[in-house]
Structure 1
Amino acid sequence: MELTNLFRQIEFIKEVDKLKYILRKTKLFASDRNENDAEHSWHLSLMAIVLAEHANFPIDVLKVIKMLLIHDLVEIDAGDTFIYDTQKSHDNTVEERQAAKRIFGLLPDHQAAELIALWEEFEEQQTNEAKFARAMDRLEPLLQNTSNNGGTWREFGVGYGDVYAKKQVIQQGSLTIWQYAEQLLNDSVEKGILTK
């Protein structure tokens, strides 16, 4: 039994290495290199540790970190959907649910069930942990785009209204961080790197 579990866990570990090859539209801070999903997940997890004190409610930081480390694993199969894509919804898709079942299903049943439940909790955005995790997921690209003179906003012609609509979910996880983010958006308009 233990050896069987170990083999399954190793297969999962090998499979999720593929996350390093999934490129996002956003670029690294002050860089022209696209970020990959593994870098994104690591960065969000570290942000959660550092910024946890700003959560609206007490949170289980370890649970948030787990969510952030696994939330994009489904993109190994489903690919990354640009948050401002007008053709394909960024919301949870059938492809992502199938990917979650396949990828997490590589693990022993008890671990697969735990990670699928965490992934679904993140997607449903009902718990304090999920709301804070989503706030981190929306904050990082905002910081990247402001460091890159508009970054993907400018590259793909995304305006203030669309950015604001996607970013305001930050306030559900942290009003303090939302106030900071909203100021960044307004400053970006003033600097001309985000069109109103």
Structure 2
Amino acid sequence: MTTEKLRKQIEFIKEIDKIKYIQRRTKLFNSDRRENDAEHSWHLAIMALVLSEHANCDVDILKVIKMLLIHDIVEIDAGDTFLYDQNKNHENTVEEMKSAKRIFGILPDKQAEEFFQIWTEFEEGNSNEAKFAKSMDRLEPLLQNVSNNGGTWKEFGVNYETVYNKKKVIKKGSTELWKYAKKLILDSVEKGFLLK
């Protein structure tokens, strides 16, 4: 007989399968295919493992990975907001909060609270772990757009200043990765991938 706790956990696992259908605007490296949220979250988690030595300070890497694996689950209900959207704020929204409460609320109470707290910590971006996790979240699409000769920057007419301002949050998690990212942004202007 299945316990109530296990039933809730399995129900959550089934629910989050929907993240595989959330399409992002950014395309895979050297590809015309758009990335989905599940691919994005997995990629960020691996990036954090590989790049953690470049964090500005010691971080609890397991906590960072948890943040990265769950940060976009809310998009199952709220949808993906393009980082460069001119009409809708990319930051935490009422829709995302409502989605977080619903989806994490499927879990047993203790896990629901933990996931909600981790998601909130990521959104607020104040802890060392959240800063590093956010640097991964901003670095990956930058690398993708560079690999695609401007990708969504060109597609949506995004300029240098906008990219720079959205990406500078990388510095809060890793000054080393920010130096690298700034160089990529400037190189993209020189190559014509990004409008000055």
Above 0.5 in TM-score? yes
1:42 aligns with 2:42: yes
Task: Give the secondary structure class of the aligned counterpart of 1:86.
Answer: coil
- The CA deviation at 1:2 is 7.2
2:148 counterpart residue number:
148
CA distance in 1, matches of 2:171, 2:2: 44
Gaps of 5+ in 1: none
1:73 counterpart residue number:
73
CA distance in 2, matches of 1:17, 1:146: 29
CA distance in 2, matches of 1:85, 1:187: 24
CA distance in 1, matches of 2:134, 2:12: 24
2:59 counterpart residue number:
59
Sequence identity (%) = 69
Task: Give the secondary structure class of the aligned counterpart of 2:26.
Answer: strand
**After the TM superposition, which parts of structure 1 deviate over 2 Å for at least 4 consecutive aligned residues?**
none
AA paired with 2:113?
Answer: A
2:28 counterpart residue number:
28
Task: Give the secondary structure class of the aligned counterpart of 1:114.
Answer: helix
Please report the TM-score for the alignment, with normalisation by the length of structure 1: 0.99
CA distance in 1, matches of 2:100, 2:194: 35
Superposed CA RMSD: 0.9
CA distance in 2, matches of 1:143, 1:193: 12
Task: Give the secondary structure class of the aligned counterpart of 1:120.
Answer: helix
AA paired with 1:85?
Answer: D
1:122 counterpart residue number:
122
2:83 counterpart residue number:
83
CA distance in 2, matches of 1:91, 1:71: 12
CA distance in 2, matches of 1:174, 1:93: 26
CA distance in 1, matches of 2:179, 2:97: 33
- Alignment map for 1:97-116 (pairs within 5 Å): 97-116=97-116
AA paired with 1:77?
Answer: D
- Alignment map for 1:164-175 (pairs within 5 Å): 164-175=164-175
CA distance in 2, matches of 1:128, 1:36: 27
Gaps of 5+ in 2: none
AA paired with 1:168?
Answer: K
CA distance in 2, matches of 1:36, 1:42: 10
CA distance in 2, matches of 1:171, 1:91: 18
- The CA deviation at 1:170 is 0.1
Task: Give the secondary structure class of the aligned counterpart of 2:3.
Answer: helix
AA paired with 2:45?
Answer: S
Please report the TM-score for the alignment, with normalisation by the length of structure 2: 0.99
